[in-house]
Structure 1
Amino acid sequence: MPPTRYTSRAVDASPLGSSLPLPFSSAVLPNRFMKVAMTERFATWDPDDMNLSGIPTQQLLDLYGHWGDGGWGIIVTGNIIVDPTHLEAPGNMILAPSPSSSLPSPNTSADTDPRFAAYQKLAAAGKRGGAVFLAQLNHPGRQTEFALQENPVSASDVQLTKGIGALYAFGKPHPASLDEIAHIKAAFVRAAVYLEKAGFDGIQLHAAHGYLLAQFLSPTTNLRTDSYGGSLANRARLITEIADGVRGATGPDFVLAIKINSVEFQDAGFAAEEAAQLVSLLEMHRFDIIELSGGTYEAPAWHHKKESTRRREAFFIEFAELVVPHVKRARTFLTGGIRTVGAMVDALESGLDGVGLGRPSAAEPKLPIEILRSGKKGCIKPLVGDTDVLGGEESWAVGASLAGAHMLQISLNQQPIDPSDGASIDGFLKGFDKWVAAFPVRSKREVLDHVRIESIDPRPYGVVEPPAA
């Protein structure tokens, strides 16, 4: 049986297929679909030797190759870490110098550096269908688990203890010194230069979801009184200085993007009014693309909090509409909860330039083709992790795990299971229970990447229906 899909009103999908030139680089997006960043955790991992860690593997090449064939206008990798002492998780891609490593060098080559060769192959895989391919650069700051970093760097010494911080132990952060800030800026710029040479079309700075750049932006985590604290311009200084450094060190074709929080849903947090001011500042520093998202580890917001957003599907649409009028040249994309073509077209009509899709891209790597060429009007509606619910705090977590299971299947050249099929979801839930039990007792050497689907025979990638008996 064909998958069950979210239902959409009848609407012309052609605006989603229109091209989009970028304002500060020469790149042109072939359409309005963005495959947004999701954590893959498929890179090499050796906790004793960072020189052997964070290198793209064949799994990553296959995963991004399948996305590359999917008709996306823009594809963004999961976070590539710029400081090997601060990881989002073992298995992250890493691209940074460390005390025991000289990587990356701008003068490196594929002949002498297997890491560089792997990034070249990754860029080729992601671009092979014509998408603009961006590397998301990230520094987790205080959102580094205690087991990996006991004393992480942050804007200030505010420890993560609420939300996800109440479930897992995170280190006690220390305020970044000016010398540390200089090293952080250099790491981002060096990574951008390295990736441009490897063939990437550009980078996206991850300044959302409570990671380090967001920690500097937010008044809840930035209590500094120096030139990196206080006013919005000061709190954004680390970002704007990185942007200026990247623009000065890369060519005119290089794309510069950023992911920011439209709102944090926290008292005294980074609110929509400041986000509107921020986008004007970002344009001054020549960011081509601004992706609007929301939420942090402390206050996850990747679900609907009120009926008005549920009806319009996008979690952050009301906040985005406050921000977009302040954008003059940069291109804005909205991520979170969008599942039907009707809502996608509505987003464009509200002034946004495109839509970001995460979990649906893992269930359907060729979703843009399904919409633009095959006439599909909605994403597959999963039996678990449904975004069309109110107060879905647990639903989003299960949905994120389902997306990870799908990514694992795709990386192994398997067709992702149909999340609207009961037997397939039963297999996922069996694997999910095992993953949850294994997570708190995993060893430092173990990469607990994603849920393995139980008791469901995998089909080769591209085989949608089971073979005939």
Structure 2
Amino acid sequence: MTVDVSVLGKPITFRNGMKAPNVFLKSAMTERLCTYDKKDLEARGKTTAEYEKLYKVWGEGEIGVIVLGNIPIEREGLEAAKNMIIDKSNTWDAIENLKPVIAASKAHGSLVIGQLTHGGRQVSNEIVDTPVSASDIQCPPMGGMEFGKPRPLREDEIEDLIDRWAFGAEALYKAGADGCQLHAAHGYLLSQFLSSRVNKRTDKFGGSLENKSMIVFRVIEEIKKRVDTSKFLISIKMNSADFADGGLTEEESRTVAQQLDEAGLDLIELSGGSYESMAFEHKKESTKKREAFFIEFAEKVRPMLKSAVLCTTGGFRSAKAMVDAVNGGATAMIGLARPLCAEPYFCRDILSGKITEARENKGDGGISTGLAIMQLAAIGAGKDIPDLSDEKTVQKLVNVLMGKGDEDDKPIKDQESSSYAGQEKAS
């Protein structure tokens, strides 16, 4: 079926005048291609040649906005080991470390922003025994990972984290990035503050929605003091809902989105769910007729936004669904993650008419993050990307992830780990 994709190639203009060349946004993912040491905190989070190569390739792919990430702002608040880190405590220069990656990403016209995050209670006990969170509600085991009972953050520690997020944004700005994104989705620390299920605080950072969201708005205020917002986008990734009893509701999410727009945010990316409750499972029923996971919610939010650009991420696979979503007014931008692991030039090929949909992924949802990480490792190493549309390839990779594969079956050295199983956090 022929699809007119011209609307996908139209530039997006943000409120500060900056322009993305098209509607595509590469959503942040866990790449796990940077340095890590279990004991030496200084040795964590430095970029590598493989990490730079990955973003060089994506930079060639005609993606309107490339989101680097997931980037922790504290060396022990990691979503996972081996991701890039921007931590003000490090003695090494995060700005100089970032510059080559950002330059490679921007070389062909993409805007590049960095996603800044903190794992909070969703930091594996392999990384830290006692994580921190809004309160002491423990995250249940998930996908081979276990989590310690979290310690509630003191108010002075919250103030320090606000400063760390602002430091991260300033580092991105000085390194040449076009913006930053606050990760307030998928159950990480900012999302934990927004959730009544997790946030049981009785101080100024708990209770009402205004109080629960205060940390987010404080971070935004602090970032604005440190960067030139006429040259730097401020974005957020937030849940449409947590899909868990007592978590962030759709009504609360709409309210926060409207307030973020009023606070001057340039870009709001919608997703959903957390380790406790995977949005991708909850949305299956509602997306049988419509491809994207969160498009119904986006349709309710977008009319409330006066200036912020709305991006919807999760489930987009065909040019037709993307065109329908943009032409129908549900979303301004199309967020992609998994398709860009299998086909880093996916956006370029859609725009040129070479393809009309993403390659089929036959990997089970429960181990899809592990499979995606192996694809990213292949891109970074300059090797052939494992084809997950082939069942035999999928089974080989699953064997490697589960520690059952032969040495000859390991397509990417040192990427196998059973702890990847079930870590579903990006579309």
TM superposition score normalised by structure 1? 0.83
Shift of 1:16: 0.7
Match of 1:179 in 2: 156
Match of 2:339 in 1: 360
* Cα separation, 1, equivalents of 2:70 and 2:284: 30
The answer as to whether partners of 2:32 and 2:373 remain within 8 angstroms in 1 is: no
- In structure 2, the CA distance between the partners of 1:102 and 1:223, relative to structure 1 (3 Å rule), is same
Match of 1:36 in 2: 27
The answer as to whether partners of 2:70 and 2:115 remain within 8 angstroms in 1 is: yes
Which secondary structure state, in structure 2, belongs to the residue aligned with residue 377 of structure 1? coil
Query: Is 2:11 aligned against 1:19?
Result: yes
- In structure 2, the CA distance between the partners of 1:449 and 1:418, relative to structure 1 (3 Å rule), is closer
* Cα separation, 1, equivalents of 2:4 and 2:31: 33
Which secondary structure state, in structure 1, belongs to the residue aligned with residue 126 of structure 2? coil
Which secondary structure state, in structure 2, belongs to the residue aligned with residue 292 of structure 1? strand
* Cα separation, 2, equivalents of 1:312 and 1:52: 45
* Cα separation, 2, equivalents of 1:326 and 1:396: 33
1:205-238: CA deviations, max 9, x gaps? 1000000000001111111122211221211110
Match of 2:310 among 326, 332, 342: 332
* Cα separation, 1, equivalents of 2:121 and 2:203: 20
1:230-259: CA deviations, max 9, x gaps? 221211110111011111210121111110
- In structure 2, the CA distance between the partners of 1:168 and 1:408, relative to structure 1 (3 Å rule), is same
Shift of 1:81: 0.9
Q: How many residues align?
A: 411
Match of 1:210 in 2: 187
Match of 2:386 among 389, 411, 417: 417
Which secondary structure state, in structure 1, belongs to the residue aligned with residue 125 of structure 2? coil
Structure 2 counterpart of 1:428, which letter? L
* Cα separation, 2, equivalents of 1:346 and 1:352: 10
Match of 1:247 among 207, 224, 232: 224
Match of 1:219 in 2: 196
Structure 2 counterpart of 1:235, which letter? K
Match of 1:196 in 2: 173
* Alignment root-mean-square deviation, CA: 2.2
Counterpart mapping for 1:311-390 below 5 A: 311-348=289-326, 349-382=328-361, 384-385=362-363
- In structure 2, the CA distance between the partners of 1:193 and 1:417, relative to structure 1 (3 Å rule), is same
Match of 1:307 in 2: 285
The answer as to whether partners of 2:284 and 2:293 remain within 8 angstroms in 1 is: no
Match of 1:256 among 234, 258, 267: 234
Match of 1:152 in 2: 131
Which secondary structure state, in structure 2, belongs to the residue aligned with residue 210 of structure 1? coil
Counterpart mapping for 1:73-152 below 5 A: 73-98=64-89, 101-102=90-91, 113=93, 115-152=94-131
Match of 2:251 in 1: 273
Match of 1:407 in 2: 376
1:144-203: CA deviations, max 9, x gaps? 1123222222111111126x28x5321211221110011000001011111111111111
Which secondary structure state, in structure 2, belongs to the residue aligned with residue 12 of structure 1? coil
Match of 1:107 in 2: none
Shift of 1:398: 2.7
Structure 2 counterpart of 1:359, which letter? R
Which secondary structure state, in structure 2, belongs to the residue aligned with residue 399 of structure 1? helix
Match of 2:421 in 1: none
Shift of 1:428: 2.5
The answer as to whether partners of 1:157 and 1:175 remain within 8 angstroms in 2 is: yes
Q: Percent identity over the alignment?
A: 39
1:322-350: CA deviations, max 9, x gaps? 22222121011111111111111122113
Structure 1 counterpart of 2:322, which letter? M
The answer as to whether partners of 1:11 and 1:341 remain within 8 angstroms in 2 is: yes
TM superposition score normalised by structure 2? 0.91
